[in-house]
Copies of this chain bind each other. A is one copy, B any other.
Amino acid sequence: MLGALGEVFRAHGYEGASLALITEATGLGKGSLYHAFPGGKEQMAEEVLASIDAWFVREIYEPLRAAADPRQGIAEMFRGVDTYFHSGRRVCLIGVVALGSARDLFAERVKTYFVAWVDALAAALRKFGYAQAEARHLAEQVVLEIQGALVLARAVNDPKLFTRALERSQERLLEKQDGGVKQRRRPHIANR
**A interface residues, Cβ below 8 angstroms from B:** 11-13, 15-16, 91, 94-96, 98-101, 103, 107, 110-111, 113-115, 137, 140-141, 143-152, 154-157, 161, 164-165, 168
Of the candidates B98, B150, B151, B157, the one whose C-beta lies within 8 Å of that of A154 is B98
Q: Which residue of chain B lies nearest to A155 when distances are taken between CB atoms in the complex? A: B98
How many angstroms between the C-alpha atoms of A38 and B164 in the bound complex?
42
Number of copies: 2
A82 shortest CB reach to chain B, Å: 16
Cα distance A166–B110 when bound, in Å? 22
Query: CA separation between A157 and B140, bound complex, in Å?
Result: 14
A143 surroundings in chain B (CB, below 8 A): 148, 152
Q: Which of chain B's residues have a CB closer than 8 A to the CB of A144? A: 145, 148-149, 151-152, 161, 165
Which B residues are in CB contact (< 8 Å) with A114? 152, 155-156
A114–B135 CA distance with the chains assembled, in angstroms: 30
List B contacts of A95 (CB < 8 A). 99, 151, 155
Separation of A31 and B141 alpha carbons in the complex (Å): 47
Contact residue among B96, B149, B157 (Cβ-Cβ distance under 8 Å from A148)? B149
With a CB–CB cut-off of 8 A, which chain B residues contact A140? 152, 161, 164-165
| A157 near B99: Cβ-Cβ < 8 Å | no
A101-B152 in contact (CB<8A): no
A9 to chain B, nearest CB (A): 10
Residues of B within 8 Å of A148, CB to CB, are 143-149, 151
- Which residues in B have their C-beta under 8 angstroms from that of A110? 155
Residues of B within 8 A of A149 (CB): 144, 148
CB nearest to A115 among chain B residues: B156
Q: How far is the CB of A168 from chain B (nearest CB, A)?
A: 7
Q: Are A16 and B156 within 8 A (Cβ)?
A: no
Which residue of B96, B98, B157 is within 8 Å of A100 (Cβ)?
Answer: B96
